[in-house]
């Protein structure tokens, strides 16, 4: 399997995660300040966060724009929790795939090996996102494939674990040129295969949250370093390995810079924001994208 050049994320990413409304941010500034931008492009509802035209504006300076896509869990407020076209099973109706409530959030862990759930994500949810003009996807809650079969939250047996790898492979087959970025990917996935293809060949980046702030999480750091060193052996120009850390407000510049510097010093690509991710912090230390 070859890796399409279109999948490559920038070798030196300056990246931002923003789940707010396009109307609440300076789009031109966002487009020129970052070369990887993660948004929630879900087109559902009367006022989606971004229109296709606004997404085109984000891409106008060459940024790669990825949409949030929750694969490990399904939010009860998404339209497809209840309403889907004929031929699909909604998350809410697919009780066989529900693995229990995600504590603290309005969502349920989902069995990523369930065929109906895979069909929903790959053939309905992802195509709707792609139709908005985004370049690719950020797959959230991918840590599900690292959960134990008897985990208190989101138990995932061997069929579920393999199903998660297969779901990504299905997305790759459906969107061969789309960058796929994983949040919280466990190192166990590195040795995985799907359809005879090594799993690391299917994805284009990984990141973890709260790696350096409020303090360094050495276990997460080791996971990212393992992914980075593995992917460095593959025939590609670059692999995105990032950290997303949080501060209390956009005025907390000292902590933000400390977290940023720690990530850079570890050879990773930092992003620092507030945890709600509904505001862009225009840090004075942001480098110019290259």
Q: What's residue 270's pLDDT? A: 98
Angle, vertex CA 268, rays to CA 266 and CA 269, nearest 5: 140
Q: What's residue 214's pLDDT? A: 97
Q: What's residue 50's pLDDT? A: 97
Pairing of strands 240-247, 269-274: parallel
pLDDT, tens digit, 9 for 90 and up, residues 101-131: 999 999 999 999 999 999 999 999 999 999 9
* This prediction's pTM: 0.97
3 state SS of 227: helix
Mean pLDDT, range 5-17, rounded to an integer: 93
Contact indicator for 156, 144 with CB cutoff of 8 Å: yes
pLDDT, tens digit, 9 for 90 and up, residues 200-259: 999 999 999 999 999 999 999 999 999 999 999 998 888 999 999 999 999 999 999 999
With pLDDT > 70 as the criterion, what percentage of the chain qualifies?
A: 100
Domain ranges for the chain: 14-274
2 pLDDT band (50/70/90 cuts)? confident
Pairing of strands 205-209, 107-110: unpaired
Instruction: Judge whether residue 1 has pLDDT over 90.
Output: no
Beta bridge pairs of residue 17: 38
pLDDT, tens digit, 9 for 90 and up, residues 137-149: 999 999 999 999 9
pLDDT, tens digit, 9 for 90 and up, residues 185-198: 999 999 999 999 99
CATH number (3.90.550.10, 3.20.20.70, 3.90.1150.10, 3.40.50.300) of 14-274 reads 3.20.20.70
């Amino acid at each position: 399997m070859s890796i399409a050049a279109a999948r490559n994320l920038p070798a030196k990413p300056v990246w931002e995660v923003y789940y707010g409304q396009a109307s609440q941010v300076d789009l031109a500034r966002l487009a020129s300040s970052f070369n990887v931008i993660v948004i929630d492009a879900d087109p559902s509802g009367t006022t989606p966060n971004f229109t296709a035209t606004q997404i085109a504006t984000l891409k106008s300076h060459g940024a790669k724009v990825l949409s949030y896509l929750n694969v490990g869990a399904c939010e009860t407020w998404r339209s497809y929790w209840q309403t889907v076209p004929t031929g699909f099973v909604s998350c809410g109706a697919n009780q066989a795939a529900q693995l229990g409530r995600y504590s603290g959030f309005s969502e349920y862990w989902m069995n990523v090996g369930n065929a109906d759930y895979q069909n929903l994500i790959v053939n309905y949810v992802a195509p709707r996102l792609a139709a908005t003009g985004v370049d690719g996807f950020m797959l959230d809650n991918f840590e599900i494939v690292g959960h134990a079969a008897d985990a208190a939250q989101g138990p995932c047996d061997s069929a579920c674990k393999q199903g998660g790898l297969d779901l990504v492979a299905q997305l790759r087959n459906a969107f061969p040129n789309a960058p796929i970025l994983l949040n919280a990917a466990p190192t166990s996935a590195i040795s995985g295969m799907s359809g005879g293809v090594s799993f690391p060949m299917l994805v284009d980046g990984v990141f973890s949250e709260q790696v350096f702030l409020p303090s360094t999480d050495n276990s997460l750091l080791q996971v990212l370093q393992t992914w980075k060193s593995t992917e460095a052996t593959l025939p590609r120009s670059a692999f995105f390995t990032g950290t997303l850390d949080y501060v209390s407000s956009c005025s907390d510049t000292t902590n933000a810079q400390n977290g940023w510097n720690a990530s850079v010093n570890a050879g990773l690509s930092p992003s620092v924001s507030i945890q709600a991710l509904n505001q862009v912090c225009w840090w004075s230390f942001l480098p110019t994208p290259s």
